[in-house]
Amino acid sequence: MMQGRKPEITSGEHHIQLFCKEKAEQAMLYSYKHMFSGFAAMLNASQATVLAKNDPRKANADTKGVISVFESEILQLHTTRSWDFMGLTLDTSEGTPLQLTHGDDIIVGVFDSGILPESASFREEPGTTPIPKYWKGKCVSGEQFNPKKACNKKLIGAKYYLTGFERRYGKINKTKNPEYVSARDFLGHGTHTSSTAVGSRAKDANVFGFARGTARGGAPRARLAVYKVCWNRNFDGTCTEEDVLAAFDEALHDGVHVISASFGKVPPLRAFFASSSDIGSFHAMQLGVSVVFSAGNAGPDPSLVGNVNPWSICVAASTMDRSFPTKILLDDGTSFVGEGLIANRITGILARARSYFIGGICDTRNWINISVSGKILVCFSTDGRLSSEDAEFAARRANATALIFVQPLNRPIAVVSIIPVVRIDTIQGTKLHLLSNFTKVQILPSETVFKRSPAPVVSDFSSRGPSSISPDFLKPDISAPGINILAAWPPNIPPSIFPGDGRSVEWNFDSGTSMSCPHVSGVVALLKSAQPHWSPAAIRSALMTTADNTDINGDAIQVEASTKSSDPFDIGAGHINPVKAIDPGLVYDMKTRDYVLFLCNNGYSDEQIQAMVLCPVTTITRCPDQKVVEPDWNINYPSITVSNLKRTTTIRRTVRNVGRAKTAMYFVSTVSPNGVEVVVWPKILIFSPLKEEVTYYVTLKPLKVSRGRYDFGSITWCDGFHQVRSPLVVQVNTTGAVSSTNEVESAGHVF
């Protein structure tokens, strides 16, 4: 690796003549040549500047110039009851389950940390047909990865991309950062996400006896192609942009139908054509390939959502209706209930951390030469903003029998840990804290129960909107299960993050938007199988407009560690409902032209856009002649977001009837955001065999003087069977522009 230099990526045609041949060969990392033209190379600042000045507007007929030159950045990994919870059961009493009738020959490409090919999740389903002839990919041999043994008619492709990682960090050092120089998974993350997306049915899956049942992915009959782009670095998943872009280039050439990518970065976000994920997914969209990204784990603060481009799907994380209640019992019969994975009864004496030193912070540094052997330690998350992992390390160091970890209401979730842990809420924890240090307590074995807790609940860690780079598009798009997801796991990798954990499991719980992303990827594979001609935009629309906005009790979906209800910045259009998405009634479709308008509006030139689009050069892929192009909110997205409403504004949307009945009539209903009048015209949409698409208009009128506050509503079209719901997100911004309500109401229309 060249000191002081980081890889630079260019997404356009390059002029390799700028360097002598020998230096060019030394600098090159990748040449992207299958689906888009570009390269990754180690360049110094002056070389990058020369390339960047090669404006495509000044290029000749033989060279199109350079669209963008940008410094490669590091992306981080975002870390089976869920399918039953979403309505995809294996119950055959009402016919063959949806998961077993769809997905054949749909190929899902998973960009992650690799795969454990021996897992039961990746065995061929009964009746699996031969590999499709259009598949161009292959299984690449490598360390402990023999394609003849590893790959089959289920796992049909496995490749790895290490050039960018090693150029940045040096050759894999197996002493400091052990890894497999192959598609084999060292971290477990890629095996888990692949299993969640398309894992085959596997009986008796469990973690230490908990959550026992038949595990399977969203599309168990779909094919799997693995692209290892993330590598172990200090036991964390690190992915370089040049490796990611190389995977996009080859996966699209190989013939995948869906790409699942559980990685990203937090803001500040870069321009769309200065990001490997955005460039790769833009080309995927043009080829009809849906790309699903995780939203990130930077919540609950607003506007930290990543992967916000409008041509892919961005997924938030939420809970499901499975819980592991664990009872704490006192001698007088008093009991407390938390969450845990406790296999056997535990008896001990209560030990309050606050009784041992000032502040009581359960940090390992505070427990040197202090032992609570035979005792059950009580730690509060509110002591120094303590994490559960910190407290677990401390409890183990202090030789505690078990840990009771106290957290805010609605946050306690069972976790796999190195010592027995029960998480309880602050109200119960405070009562425990008032007991003496000599109180004898028992922790009873945990149960596995369903439908006792409100679900779904939006995860506290899930990254929130609004988008920091394109606030007139709602991101995240949708939510899916991402807490305590049971999926395949390499037996040689401990089930917890704690050093010294020598346990071995074949299945494991993991949490994060990394886990919610493959849930959506699996459902997209089912939709792609059921509706092979739908575009990625139509599939995204079907998911969003049919999403649930209430929990299993019919109440508004809550936010973890809070008493408030969720809003679209937490959960997007709602929680995914695969069964409804198969038959959405209407879809909001988008084609390359729609995204071209968006790019024009965001400062990209005709020449830059022409170099990115795959279709022939026509007016369809050119920016409008007028200087003022349509605002982003007029792009035909399934949600409507106006981040700066100053005056009465009219927005356009077009829907296509994809229902079984070609003649249909839909009626509108609206929920107005606070302080905004919403008028939809026409109020009835009539479809016929000769009129599959209809356009309607939404007029928003601000009724209040306000600045900097978002309010939420919705627009729903109903034909008596389908409910086609679009979130409506508006920020009224009239302070300073007008001085009275009358002036607000009299503001003119903008079309």
Based on the domain organization, do 697 and 618 belong to the same domain?
Answer: no
Which entry of 68, 72, 78, 112 is annotated as an active-site residue?
112
Claim: this prediction has a pTM higher than 0.85: yes
Report pLDDT digits (tens) over 307-328: 999 999 999 999 999 999 999 9
Which positions ≥6 away from 484 have C-beta within 8 Å?
Answer: 211, 319, 322, 413, 414, 415, 509, 510, 511
With 60 as the cut, is the pLDDT of residue 631 above it?
yes
Residue 208 lies in a domain: yes
Greatest alpha-carbon span in the chain: 87
H helical segments located in 326-481: 388-397, 426-433
* DSSP string for residues in 532-570: TT--HHHHHHHHHHT-B-B-TTSSBPEETTSSSBP-HHH
With 70 as the cut, is the pLDDT of residue 38 above it?
yes
What per-residue confidence (pLDDT) applies to 621?
62
- 499 CB-contact burial (10 Å; exposed 0-12 / middle 13-18 / buried 19+): exposed
What per-residue confidence (pLDDT) applies to 96?
66
Domain containing residue 681: CATH number: 2.60.40.2310
- 699 CB-contact burial (10 Å; exposed 0-12 / middle 13-18 / buried 19+): middle
Based on the domain organization, do 428 and 536 belong to the same domain?
Answer: no
The whole-chain average pLDDT of the chain stands at 87
Q: Strands 237-240 and 230-232: what pairing? A: antiparallel
What per-residue confidence (pLDDT) applies to 739?
40
- Is 112 an annotated catalytic residue? yes
How many alpha carbons fall within 13 Å on the CB side of residue 359? 9
Q: What angle do CA 488, 490, 492 make, to 5 degrees?
A: 155
Residue 492 lies in a domain: yes
Percent of the chain at pLDDT > 90 equals 64
Q: Are 252 and 34 in contact (CB under 8 A)?
A: yes
Residue 187: φ, ψ to 5°: -90, -25
Residue 1 lies in a domain: no
Residue 62's pLDDT band, with cuts at 50, 70 and 90, is very low
Question: What domain count does the chain have?
Answer: 5
Which entry of 281, 514, 535, 672 is annotated as an active-site residue?
514
Residue 634 lies in a domain: no
- Assign 3-class secondary structure to 707-740: CCEEEEEEEEEECCCCEEEEEEEEEECCECCECC
638 preceded by a cis bond (ω within 30 of 0): no
Based on the domain organization, do 206 and 100 belong to the same domain?
Answer: yes
Last residue of a domain, one of 395, 427, 447: 447
The amino acid sitting at 335 is S
Which residues are bridge partners to 108 per DSSP?
224, 258
Based on the domain organization, do 360 and 414 belong to the same domain?
Answer: yes
What per-residue confidence (pLDDT) applies to 411?
75
Residue 393 lies in a domain: yes
What per-residue confidence (pLDDT) applies to 619?
52
What per-residue confidence (pLDDT) applies to 85?
86
Based on the domain organization, do 621 and 663 belong to the same domain?
Answer: no
Residue 558: φ, ψ to 5°: -90, 170
Residue 132 lies in a domain: yes
Give 626 or 545, the one with higher predicted confidence: 545
Based on the domain organization, do 534 and 664 belong to the same domain?
Answer: no
| Token digits of residue 156 | 């049909």
| Token digits of residue 196 | 């969640």
| Token digits of residue 177 | 């950062």
147 preceded by a cis bond (ω within 30 of 0): no
Separation CA 724–CA 694 (nearest Å)? 14
Domain containing residue 54: CATH number: 3.30.70
Dihedral in degrees, nearest 10, Cα atoms 107, 113, 119, 120: -40
Residue range(s) defining the domain that contains residue 602: 590-629
Give 20 or 368, the one with higher predicted confidence: 368
Residue 2 lies in a domain: no
In which residue are the tokens 């990203």 written?
264
Based on the domain organization, do 67 and 80 belong to the same domain?
Answer: no
The amino acid sitting at 392 is E
Query: Helix, strand or coil for residue 31?
Result: strand
- Is 669 an annotated catalytic residue? no
Of 161-170, 628-637, 701-710, the poorest mean pLDDT is in 628-637
Based on the domain organization, do 443 and 564 belong to the same domain?
Answer: no
Of 326-340, 405-419, 458-472, the poorest mean pLDDT is in 405-419
With 70 as the cut, is the pLDDT of residue 4 above it?
no
Measured distance between the N- and C-terminal CA atoms of the chain, rounded to whole angstroms: 54
Separation CA 385–CA 33 (nearest Å)? 49
What per-residue confidence (pLDDT) applies to 353?
81
Residue 400 lies in a domain: yes
Separation CA 645–CA 660 (nearest Å)? 38
Which residues are bridge partners to 231 per DSSP?
238
Domain containing residue 118: CATH number: 3.40.50.200
Last residue of a domain, one of 629, 653, 686: 629
- Is 105 an annotated catalytic residue? no
C-alpha distance from residue 505 to each of 101, 469, 492, 566 (Å): 31, 42, 8, 35
Based on the domain organization, do 397 and 462 belong to the same domain?
Answer: no
Q: Are 377 and 349 in contact (CB under 8 A)?
A: no
Domain containing residue 397: CATH number: 3.50.30.30
Based on the domain organization, do 547 and 605 belong to the same domain?
Answer: no
Based on the domain organization, do 256 and 313 belong to the same domain?
Answer: yes
Based on the domain organization, do 124 and 247 belong to the same domain?
Answer: yes
Of 40-49, 172-181, 657-666, the poorest mean pLDDT is in 40-49
Which entry of 189, 192, 433, 519 is annotated as an active-site residue?
189
